[in-house]
Amino acid sequence: MTGLMRWKKIRLHRPGVILSDLMMPKMDGYELCKALKQNKEFAHIPFILLTAKVALDAKIEGVNVGGADAYLEKPVNTDLLFFNYFQPFPIEE
């Protein structure tokens, strides 16, 4: 799925949290995150970038440049993901 397709789905479904791969065609994870964080309707949604990039500079870019709330390396441990990232974020019902 391209970043542009994800952007359209996010606008349609308005998720409570977004997990996005960094590497996507047409709009990468940095660009998608930046677009969401600059939009008043979506800026409040926690955004977690998932990537195989493990270098410290890539992590810093993901959080500082893209505005991601968190940056996780693949493969992701689902227990770690749930306990460290989903519980702190309020779940809207």
Q: Is the pLDDT of residue 9 over 70?
A: yes
**CATH number of the CATH domain containing 74:** 3.40.50.2300
Q: Is 16 helix (H, G, I), strand (E, B) or coil?
A: coil
Other C-beta atoms within 10 Å of 50: how many? 20
Q: Is 71 helix (H, G, I), strand (E, B) or coil?
A: strand
Tokens 């749930």 appear where? 82
Q: Evaluate whether residue 67 is within a structural domain.
A: yes
| Global confidence as pTM | 0.77
**What integer is the mean pLDDT of 75-90?**
73
pLDDT tier for residue 93 given thresholds of 50, 70 and 90: low
Number of domains in the chain: 1
Q: Which range of residues forms the domain containing residue 70?
A: 3-7+16-86
Which letter does DSSP use for residue 44 in this model? T
Q: What is the pLDDT of residues 27-60, one digit of tens each?
A: 988 899 999 999 999 999 999 888 887 777 766 7
- What local confidence, expressed as pLDDT, does residue 90 receive? 58
